[in-house]
Amino acid sequence: MDRGEFLHFTDSQFESVWKMVGISGGDALRSLAASTPAEQVERIEAFDTEVELVMDAVLISTERLRVAFALSNLGGRAKTWAYTREATTPDCFATWAQLCQQLRAAFLPANYEYRQCSRFLACKQGKRELHEYIQEMRVPLHL
């Protein structure tokens, strides 16, 4: 897999692709490469949600274990960032919610939520077919 095929991914999203391929095999990569950039970002976000479901399924119930599990699954810049933060400020990720909040602050644009909300409010069906309108609403904002 060549990094050049996925230039629109952030480093952490590209690391998630590697993990997804390791879990799901080469078919997942071929399917991902054939999809549009917006669909690719959506699939990576779904993979991250899947990690959360795995934590629930294997009964990782304490906050500290959830954080440790999540940190062990990070890669690239996100992994370097998280381990540096943990080394300089012990217990900076005391809860899963804190880790998620700090990851969003570090790696999403400052106005990400505003852009998503604006995009949602600006979307109008107009003269488009209903399925085209629905598809636009399903595709996340490409960063």
pLDDT at 93 over 80: yes
Would you state the pLDDT for residue 127? Answer: 85
- Tell me the DSSP string of 18-62: HHHHHHH-HHHHHHHHHS-HHHHHHHHHHHHHHHHHHHHHTT--S
What is the model's pTM? Answer: 0.47
For 10-63, write each residue's pLDDT tens digit: 777 667 666 666 555 555 555 555 566 666 567 667 767 777 777 666 666 688
- The Cβ of residue 123 has, within 10 Å, a number of other Cβ atoms equal to 11
The listed range with the strongest mean pLDDT (36-45, 71-80, 129-138) is 71-80
Buried-exposed string 7-35: b where 16+ CB fall within 10 A, e elsewhere: eebbbbbbbbbebbbeeeeeebbeebeee
Q: Where are the domains of the chain?
A: 3-108, 113-143
